[in-house]
Amino acid sequence: MGLRRLLAICWIICHYRLDTLIPADKLPLRARLLLRFGPWRLFPRRHYSRGERLRCALENLGPIFIKFGQVLSTRRDLLPDDVSEELTKLQDQVPPFASELAVAAIETALGKPIAELFAAFDREALASASIAQVHTATLHNNIDVVVKVVRPGIERTIAADIRLLQTIAVLVQRYVPDGRRLRPVEVVEDYQHTIFDELDLQREGANTSQLKRNFKDSEVLYVPEVYWDYTRRNVLVMERIHGIPVTDLHTLREQGTDMKKLAERGVEIFFTQVFRDSFFHADMHPGNIFVAHDRPASPQYIAIDCAIIGSLSDFDQYYLARNLLAIFQRNYREVAELHVECGWVPPETRVHEFEAAIRSVSEPIFEKPLAEISFGQLLLYLFQTARRFDMEVQPSLVLLQKTLLNIEGLGRQLYPQLDLWSTAMPFLERWVRDRYSPQSMLKRVSHRLPGWLEQLPHLPETLLERGAPGKHNTAADELRHKNEVGLIIREQANRARNQRIAIIALISAALIADPGIRDGLRHLPDSSIVLFGVALYFFIRSR
C-alpha cells in the first residue's frame, strides 16, 4: 500500500473521529496512550451518531470500502441496530471510467475490433459501480444487449484494501470487547470471496444461465439471456431488458398492475429459489429488480445482476423449513430442539433456557396482527437470541436472512397489507410433505443407488487397508484388528441387506401410491409383474 493511501486513510479516521468507537479501557497501555495523545485529538468531535460517522468514513475511503460497508450492513446478527441501519444507506454511485479504456478492455478480451463485434456501441456508460460499468450495444443480428466491463486495474486496488481490512480485523478481534464473537477476520474473509467472485463475470454469466433454466417459461420471473460468444472473465454480454423499476410505484399503478399479486409473487419466487432449487439470487435489492411492461393482471419480475448467489445444503433446507414451520405454529420448544439437533448451537445448550429466550423475543411480536409482523425481523431477532447461546453463524443463512429482509421490505412497499405468513406457510407445508413422499424418497434413493452399488464391492478391501496393523503391532493387536475388521464387514453386509429390503419397500410404496403407475399395471399380465419383481430382487441382491 502506498504512503499516500495510508496517509489518506489516517486523515479520514481522524476527520470522522473513529477513534471514539474504540473502547480504550480494553487496550494495552501503549495503545491506550496512543489513543489518548494521538493526532486525532486535534480534530473536533462531529455531532453525528457513531453509525453516521462510520458511514461517512467508508464513503470517503472509496468504492471498495463502500462495498465492504454494504456487506457489513447485512450482518445484523453481529452489529448494533443503529450501525446496521446507517450502513444500509451506503450508495455505490461511482463515476464511470473513460470509454476508451472500456473499448480497449472489450477488444482485448474478445480479440476483435469493436466495430466487428457490434453493429452499434454506445460509448457513454449506462451505469457505473465500484467493480464494473455497463454500456448498451446492438449485435449484428439486431439484438439489443448490455455490455458489462470490469474496471481496469481494480484487482490491485482491491488486493491492497483487503490487506488493510485484514489488519484492522485482527486488531479488532484482539483488542475490542466481543471481538471474538464478532468474528471480524471471518467477515473480511467472506467479503474477500464475495468481491473476487464479483470480478469474475463468467461466474456471473453462469449464475444467470442457471437461474434462467430454473425459471424457464415461468410467468413469475424472467431472466435475461447470456451471449457466451461475447463473454469472458472481464466482459459479460447479456440481453437488454426493458422493464419498469420495481420502485417506480407511480408507473406500476398507472398501468393497472395488480400490486397484491406482484408482492405475493416476490415471496413465491424467493421460497421457490430457496427450497425447490437451493439456488437463490442473494442480491435482490430494488436496483436489480424490474417488472415487465404490459402484464398488469399477471405481473412478471425481471432479475438482473446474479453475481451473488446463495445455496443451502439438503441438511440446512430441511432444518430451516422445520424451524420456520415451528415458528409459524409458535412451537418454541421445537425451535430450540431443532437448533441443538442441527448443530447451530452447542450440544450442551440447556434447551429449556433457550426455549424461554426464544419465547420472550417472539411473544411480543405475535401480539400484533399477522400483516404487521416482519418475518425477516423476527428471524433476525431469533438469530440474535441464538447468538447469546454461542450460535455459529452460517454464511448461507446470513445471505438468506439478508435476502428475506430485502424481499419482505420490497413486498410491503408494493402492498403494505402483505401477509407474508399466509403466503409462505402453505408453501413450506407443501414442500415438507412433498419432500418425504414415497415418490420423492424413491427418486433420491434411485439417484444415489448407482454410487452406493459401485462402492459396495470395494468396501471390504478399503476396510482392510484402513485397519491394517503396522509392523510395530503385537500378535494380539493383529488378532484384535482382524476381529474388528471381520465384525465391521458383517455389519456392512447386514446393512447392505437391510438397504436392499428398504429399496424394494420404497419401490413398492411408490407403485402403490402413484395412480398413474397403478393404472398402467392393470393392463399388464400378472405373470409380467411377478417376473419383474423377481428380476428386481435378484438384480439388487447380486449387486
Q: Which residues are catalytic?
A: 283
Using alpha carbons, select from 254, 255, 289 the residue that is nearest to residue 269. Answer: 289
Spatial separation of the C-alpha atoms in residues 130 and 479, rounded to whole Å: 66
Place of cell 414451520: 325
Place of cell 418475518: 375
Spatial separation of the C-alpha atoms in residues 97 and 128, rounded to whole Å: 8
Beta strands in 297-403 (DSSP E): 301-303, 309-310
Chain-centroid distance of CA 210 in Å reads: 15
Single-letter amino acid code for the residue at 219 = E
What φ, ψ does residue 515 adopt, rounded to 5°?
-60, -35
Place of cell 479501557: 25
Question: DSSP string spanning 225-271?
Answer: PB-GGG--SSEEEEEPP-EEETT-HHHHHHTT--HHHHHHHHHHHHH
How far are the Cα atoms of 124, 234, 376 from residue 71, in angstroms, in the given order? 29, 22, 17
DSSP bridge partners of 221: 301
Spatial separation of the C-alpha atoms in residues 227 and 328, rounded to whole Å: 43
Spatial separation of the C-alpha atoms in residues 505 and 163, rounded to whole Å: 57
Single-letter amino acid code for the residue at 90 = L
Spatial separation of the C-alpha atoms in residues 144 and 239, rounded to whole Å: 6
Query: Grid coordinates representing 450?
Result: 448407482
The total of other beta-carbon atoms located within 10 Å of residue 480's CB is 14
Please answer whether residues 250 and 220 qualify as being in contact, where contact means their C-beta atoms are separated by less than 8 angstroms. Answer: no
The total of other beta-carbon atoms located within 10 Å of residue 180's CB is 12
